[in-house]
Chain A
Amino acid sequence: MQPDGERGAEQHERLLGIEELRVRFPGAGRAAVDGVSLAVRRGECLGVVGESGAGKSLTFLAALGLLPKGAEVSGRVRLGPQEVLGLTERALDRIRGRRVGVIFQDPMSSLTPHLTIGAQLAEPIARHIGLGRRAARARAQGLLERVQLPEAARSMRQYPHELSGGMRQRAMIAIALACEPELLIADEPTTALDVTLQAQILALLAQFKREQRMGLILITHDFGAVAGLADRLVVMRAGQVIESGPVAAVLRHPGEPYTRELLRAAGEPPAEQPPRAACAVAAAPVLSVEGLEVRFRYAAGLLRRRSLPALEAVTVSLGAGESLGVVGESGCGKTTLTRAALRLIRAERGQVLWLGQNPARLSARRIRGLRRDLQLIFQDPLGSLDPHLSVEQLVSEPLEIHQSGLGPAQRRERVHAMLARVGLEPALYARRVHELSGGQCQRVGIARAMILAPRLLVCDEPLSALDVRAQRQIRLLLTELSAEQRVSLLFVSHDLALVRHLCERALVLYLGRMVELGPTDELFARPLHPYTRELIEAIALPDPDLQPARLAKVRLGEARRLEQPGGCAFRLRCAHATAVCAERIPPWVSAGEGRWVACHHFGDWADGMLSP
């Protein structure tokens, strides 16, 4: 149901009012929160958006008295008629958990590791509502059912590490809602989760907001989440509110240049992209992978070893100058595919060809020589650069290895030219990576990869660790460089929108198997596999007209893991699954014009499908 009636309604009473809030840490020059004023009404969702370090979370931690000792806080914070700032710890404890619930970003580190979910859930119920042990536990289990946790009774006895990421976040939500608070503060509740889970969690929050008529504060950097859930929006930068208003107004007509920049970075329409030069696919493919299987071994007891398939029967090839996107949720084998394709991990079965040659038949020395043409850019820009080397040394290293004939002066020249090309100033060349920002580190990583003018660039989620604006800059840099040097691109990402911008073709993986492959535009316009469709539907569009309705359609249930192997791996999550899906693994079949799919039923349902 579209909650239009509640949007922007002015007559609701004010729940939380923050005025002129300032937070300053001793020793810090600038105030971390600098005169923030905002208000939330009952039944309303306020979106708080901004880049990391903007003071979004600090504002609300300060309001609840949760900042570390020594922080100086001033201003006014009112919950209903009551002034909250300056209350004693005891008085605050009657508000926290009772009247205001909080959901934190990372559900793993925010749940106490040595207590069961049930114990942690019953704790605030017993304290704030005064129920006895059994009554509290009964209510706790009811809450777990309401957040759609499968097997609630069993989850009660489990420890946080035994649950999956999505289940943990559901448990966190249950704890925050345990005492039916008037206000729920959700601090980046979906950032650590996969696309499909993000959509489910947001849909769940939307449902609770509707049913309990509580106030909801959604702190996020994701405009898509805001568009789907928020009624009003506040944009923060450097500790200040720079823009606020009804969500539709701000998203459609942003007043501040900064907001416009953020919005552009979040949801650039594909038309703005410089189109990749379409190349005739000729000659041998740069990279081809055939029947690749990778298994992960683990100890299942003192002597027993078991293995799980991380990748099964993957066959794909990439022509010169072509770009291929690989998408899927975490654990689907995306990263494993890149590592196995570059022979950084061992494959159980199948073969890999580099520029038409089989490295399995080459000497170690020849393999190292070939690596020159196959470069890799990592997800974590900081972690992928050796901390004890300077920027210049880092970029110079590939040249030292592969072009040892170069003199120091020539090498220096090449390194400096490359660093200038990726937009790093000479002042940074002598720095170590921990002195650089995330975006700068990723530029170093790109320079390191591109200095050898490789034929293939493998990018493993190169943007996901970066801030929104840095994401856009690095994305543009990658597009330019790959067009300039006519390098083939294997681009791994959980972000479908990104792959849609960057890649000509896309491969969808689910639990280590290929489920769909095709030209990106067609794949988006007419997905053939139900999983692809689910992924596309889960994309949060920063569009306040479309997104709430899309969110309302998301199915809330947590998918259970496949316990019995065999058949289609996706069948437990699939609305179209039939008996045959449990019996046979769907074959990989051609579906015309370069499209491939592995689904028993794709012909049946894909015809009647609606475009998202």
Chain B
Amino acid sequence: MLGYALRRIAGIVPVLLILLTVSFFVIRLAPGGPFAAGRALPARTRAQLERLYGLNRPLLVQYAHYLRALAHGNLGPSYSMRDETVAGLIASGLPVSAALGLAALALAVLTGVPLGARAALRRDGPLDRSLAAFAALTLALPSFVTGPLLALVFGLWLRWLPVAGWQPDTPRDLILPAVTLALPLSASIARLMRASLLEVLGASYIRAARARGLGRARVLWRHALPPALVPVVSYLGPAATYLVTGSLVVETVFELPGTGRYLVQGALDRDYTLVMGMVLVYGTLTLLANLAADLLHAWLDPRVRHEPL
């Protein structure tokens, strides 16, 4: 198991490197530059700035410089926001984004798994039916629709929760964004959980376990749940991807000072270092989430462990 984990972790590094390399060159292929014309800068200032940041040197040299700095943990200065470093921007934004993502993930798992399991155990019962309708609806609702709608209903009409904004240490500000982000995730998890538990409950080994007189609770918890959780765990990878993209929207809708806005704005401003920093952060996050999903899967299912990579 440990060997498997180590092998998988080692597999991340080259993927990340490829991602960074491709991003590095693609960004620079785009028309315009951080200090390009149309940004109301005198030509001389621009040339000075470009020399300052080494942007006038050959691409490969720039690339080598970037990698060397990265190896020392230096993500470089931001081109569009003077006086800020990319690392500083990430350090200020990431806690907000991470709090949002983790809260949404926790909410989705803690509601989705029990709801789905319950629906499977009481198949075609009232909960099962309403879950199906709820899932169909929330899955059809992109977060940029639910977000404003929730804000409209709970923020403006009912006045229960803040419409938008963020003050440090006020978890109330996080409720609506986290719910918005968690809704479709929770629905997906509930659906997955329901389907997989139904499948497991229909398996021969569950009937065989019941034939041994082990009791309902034990058959459910020990024999049925672990394999039923496998699809849910595998879903953590795609879920992380969803959370990353979804948080961009939710942070925009609710005006949260997370890192999401840096990505779009950075790309529009051709703020090379900032975009690279974002690629690094979000790329690492999703790769780690996928890895965690695979490791959990191997832990739940002994058959995976024994397979060669």
Q: What is the distance, in angstroms, from A109's C-beta to the closest C-beta of chain B?
A: 4
Which B265-309 residues have a C-beta within 8 angstroms of A?
A: 300-303, 306, 308-309
Docked-complex contact A124 and B204, CB < 8 angstroms: no
Q: A92 on the interface (CB 8 Å rule)?
A: yes
Chain B residues whose C-beta falls within 8 Å of the C-beta of A176 in the assembled complex: 212
Chain A residues whose C-beta falls within 8 Å of the C-beta of B301 in the assembled complex: 113-114
Docked-complex contact A93 and B204, CB < 8 angstroms: no
Q: What is the distance, in angstroms, from B51's C-beta to the closest C-beta of chain A?
A: 47
Q: A450 on the interface (CB 8 Å rule)?
A: no
Please report the C-alpha to C-alpha distance between residue A123 and residue B223 in the assembled complex, in whole angstroms: 11
Given contacts A109-B203, A159-B303, contact A93 B215 (CB under 8 A): yes
Please report the C-alpha to C-alpha distance between residue A300 and residue B308 in the assembled complex, in whole angstroms: 7
Chain B residues whose C-beta falls within 8 Å of the C-beta of A98 in the assembled complex: 213
Chain B residues whose C-beta falls within 8 Å of the C-beta of A161 in the assembled complex: 302-303, 306
Docked-complex contact B205 and A66, CB < 8 angstroms: no
Docked-complex contact A301 and B308, CB < 8 angstroms: yes
Q: A106 on the interface (CB 8 Å rule)?
A: yes
Q: What is the distance, in angstroms, from A64's C-beta to the closest C-beta of chain B?
A: 6
Docked-complex contact A113 and B302, CB < 8 angstroms: yes
Chain B residues whose C-beta falls within 8 Å of the C-beta of A124 in the assembled complex: 212-214
Chain A residues whose C-beta falls within 8 Å of the C-beta of B213 in the assembled complex: 92-98, 124, 127-128
Q: What is the distance, in angstroms, from B294's C-beta to the closest C-beta of chain A?
A: 16
User: Residue of A at shortest CB range from B202?
Assistant: A68
Which B175-234 residues have a C-beta within 8 angstroms of A?
A: 202-205, 207-216, 218, 222-223, 226-227
Docked-complex contact B212 and A175, CB < 8 angstroms: yes
Docked-complex contact B302 and A159, CB < 8 angstroms: yes
Docked-complex contact A112 and B223, CB < 8 angstroms: yes
Docked-complex contact A114 and B212, CB < 8 angstroms: no
Please report the C-alpha to C-alpha distance between residue A162 and residue B203 in the assembled complex, in whole angstroms: 19
Partner among B202, B212, B302, B309 whose Cβ is within 8 Å of the Cβ of A302: B309
Chain A residues whose C-beta falls within 8 Å of the C-beta of B302 in the assembled complex: 113-114, 159, 161
Docked-complex contact B214 and A106, CB < 8 angstroms: no
Docked-complex contact B211 and A96, CB < 8 angstroms: yes
Partner among B205, B214, B216, B222 whose Cβ is within 8 Å of the Cβ of A97: B214
Please report the C-alpha to C-alpha distance between residue A128 and residue B211 in the assembled complex, in whole angstroms: 13
Which A523-560 residues have a C-beta within 8 angstroms of B?
A: none
Docked-complex contact A106 and B204, CB < 8 angstroms: yes
Q: Which one of A102, A112, A302 has the highest number of Cβ atoms from chain B below 10 Å of its Cβ?
A: A112
User: Residue of B at shortest CB range from A162?
Assistant: B306
Please report the C-alpha to C-alpha distance between residue A284 and residue B86 in the assembled complex, in whole angstroms: 81
Chain A residues whose C-beta falls within 8 Å of the C-beta of B208 in the assembled complex: 102, 104, 110-112, 172
Which A62-106 residues have a C-beta within 8 angstroms of B?
A: 64, 66, 68, 89-90, 92-98, 101-102, 104, 106
Chain B residues whose C-beta falls within 8 Å of the C-beta of A104 in the assembled complex: 204, 207-208, 211
Docked-complex contact B205 and A123, CB < 8 angstroms: no
Partner among B7, B204, B303, B309 whose Cβ is within 8 Å of the Cβ of A109: B204
User: Residue of A at shortest CB range from B207?
Assistant: A66
Please report the C-alpha to C-alpha distance between residue A110 and residue B206 in the assembled complex, in whole angstroms: 8
Docked-complex contact B212 and A115, CB < 8 angstroms: no
Q: Which one of A66, A90, A114 has the highest number of Cβ atoms from chain B below 10 Å of its Cβ?
A: A114
User: Residue of B at shortest CB range from A124?
Assistant: B212
Docked-complex contact A97 and B212, CB < 8 angstroms: yes
Docked-complex contact A113 and B205, CB < 8 angstroms: yes
Q: What is the distance, in angstroms, from A416's C-beta to the closest C-beta of chain B?
A: 42
Q: What is the distance, in angstroms, from B157's C-beta to the closest C-beta of chain A?
A: 44
Chain A residues whose C-beta falls within 8 Å of the C-beta of B309 in the assembled complex: 301-302
Q: Which one of B202, B211, B301, B303 has the highest number of Cβ atoms from chain A below 10 Å of its Cβ?
A: B211
Chain B residues whose C-beta falls within 8 Å of the C-beta of A94 in the assembled complex: 213
Chain A residues whose C-beta falls within 8 Å of the C-beta of B207 in the assembled complex: 61, 66, 104, 110
Docked-complex contact A115 and B308, CB < 8 angstroms: no
Q: A610 on the interface (CB 8 Å rule)?
A: no
User: Residue of A at shortest CB range from B11?
Assistant: A302
User: Residue of B at shortest CB range from A304?
Assistant: B308
Partner among A64, A112, A178 whose Cβ is within 8 Å of the Cβ of B209: A112
Chain A residues whose C-beta falls within 8 Å of the C-beta of B205 in the assembled complex: 109-113
Residue tally, chain A, CB below 8 Å to B? 39
Chain B residues whose C-beta falls within 8 Å of the C-beta of A102 in the assembled complex: 208, 211-212
Q: A299 on the interface (CB 8 Å rule)?
A: yes
Chain B residues whose C-beta falls within 8 Å of the C-beta of A106 in the assembled complex: 204
Please report the C-alpha to C-alpha distance between residue A90 and residue B223 in the assembled complex, in whole angstroms: 18
Please report the C-alpha to C-alpha distance between residue A160 and residue B309 in the assembled complex, in whole angstroms: 21
* A 231-271 binary contact with B (CB < 8 Å = 1; else 0): 00000000000000000000000000000000000000000
Partner among A113, A123, A162, A301 whose Cβ is within 8 Å of the Cβ of B212: A123
User: Residue of B at shortest CB range from A178?
Assistant: B212
Please report the C-alpha to C-alpha distance between residue A68 and residue B210 in the assembled complex, in whole angstroms: 12
Docked-complex contact B227 and A127, CB < 8 angstroms: no
User: Residue of B at shortest CB range from A61?
Assistant: B207
Q: What is the distance, in angstroms, from A350's C-beta to the closest C-beta of chain B?
A: 30
Docked-complex contact B300 and A114, CB < 8 angstroms: yes
Chain B residues whose C-beta falls within 8 Å of the C-beta of A127 in the assembled complex: 213-215, 218
Please report the C-alpha to C-alpha distance between residue A110 and residue B202 in the assembled complex, in whole angstroms: 11
* A 155-167 binary contact with B (CB < 8 Å = 1; else 0): 0000101100000
Docked-complex contact B227 and A89, CB < 8 angstroms: no
Q: What is the distance, in angstroms, from A122's C-beta to the closest C-beta of chain B?
A: 11
User: Residue of B at shortest CB range from A90?
Assistant: B215
Q: What is the distance, in angstroms, from B306's C-beta to the closest C-beta of chain A?
A: 8
Docked-complex contact B214 and A93, CB < 8 angstroms: yes
Which A414-473 residues have a C-beta within 8 angstroms of B?
A: none
Please report the C-alpha to C-alpha distance between residue A123 and residue B217 in the assembled complex, in whole angstroms: 13
Please report the C-alpha to C-alpha distance between residue A61 and residue B208 in the assembled complex, in whole angstroms: 11
Please report the C-alpha to C-alpha distance between residue A111 and residue B206 in the assembled complex, in whole angstroms: 8
Q: What is the distance, in angstroms, from A58's C-beta to the closest C-beta of chain B?
A: 12
Docked-complex contact B215 and A110, CB < 8 angstroms: no
Chain A residues whose C-beta falls within 8 Å of the C-beta of B211 in the assembled complex: 64, 66, 96-97, 102, 104
Chain A residues whose C-beta falls within 8 Å of the C-beta of B218 in the assembled complex: 123, 127
Please report the C-alpha to C-alpha distance between residue A590 and residue B161 in the assembled complex, in whole angstroms: 93
Q: What is the distance, in angstroms, from A392's C-beta to the closest C-beta of chain B?
A: 36
* A 124-164 binary contact with B (CB < 8 Å = 1; else 0): 10011000000000000000000000000000000101100
Please report the C-alpha to C-alpha distance between residue A63 and residue B101 in the assembled complex, in whole angstroms: 51
Please report the C-alpha to C-alpha distance between residue A94 and residue B213 in the assembled complex, in whole angstroms: 6
Please report the C-alpha to C-alpha distance between residue A112 and residue B302 in the assembled complex, in whole angstroms: 11
User: Residue of A at shortest CB range from B208?
Assistant: A110
Please report the C-alpha to C-alpha distance between residue A111 and residue B208 in the assembled complex, in whole angstroms: 7
Chain B residues whose C-beta falls within 8 Å of the C-beta of A172 in the assembled complex: 208
Docked-complex contact B216 and A113, CB < 8 angstroms: no
Q: What is the distance, in angstroms, from B12's C-beta to the closest C-beta of chain A?
A: 15
Please report the C-alpha to C-alpha distance between residue A130 and residue B209 in the assembled complex, in whole angstroms: 18
Q: What is the distance, in angstroms, from A241's C-beta to the closest C-beta of chain B?
A: 23
Chain B residues whose C-beta falls within 8 Å of the C-beta of A95 in the assembled complex: 213
Please report the C-alpha to C-alpha distance between residue A97 and residue B212 in the assembled complex, in whole angstroms: 4
Docked-complex contact B303 and A123, CB < 8 angstroms: no
Docked-complex contact B227 and A113, CB < 8 angstroms: yes
Which A549-607 residues have a C-beta within 8 angstroms of B?
A: none
Please report the C-alpha to C-alpha distance between residue A244 and residue B306 in the assembled complex, in whole angstroms: 49
* A 273-291 binary contact with B (CB < 8 Å = 1; else 0): 0000000000000000000
Chain A residues whose C-beta falls within 8 Å of the C-beta of B308 in the assembled complex: 299-302
Docked-complex contact A96 and B212, CB < 8 angstroms: yes
Please report the C-alpha to C-alpha distance between residue A331 and residue B38 in the assembled complex, in whole angstroms: 74
The 8 A-B pairs at the shortest CB distance, nearest first, are namely: A97-B213, A96-B213, A97-B212, A110-B208, A109-B204, A102-B211, A93-B213, A124-B212
Beyond contacts A96-B210, A109-B205, A114-B302: 11 other A-B pairs, Cβ-Cβ < 8 A, are: A64-B211, A66-B207, A97-B214, A112-B208, A123-B214, A124-B212, A127-B214, A172-B208, A175-B212, A299-B308, A302-B7
Residues of A within 8 A of B (CB): 61, 64, 66, 68, 89-90, 92-98, 101-102, 104, 106, 109-115, 123-124, 127-128, 159, 161-162, 172, 175-176, 178, 299-302
A-B contact pairs, 14 of them (CB 8 A): A93-B213, A94-B213, A95-B213, A102-B211, A104-B211, A111-B205, A111-B208, A113-B301, A114-B302, A123-B212, A123-B214, A124-B214, A161-B302, A178-B212
Residues of B within 8 A of A (CB): 7, 202-205, 207-216, 218, 222-223, 226-227, 300-303, 306, 308-309
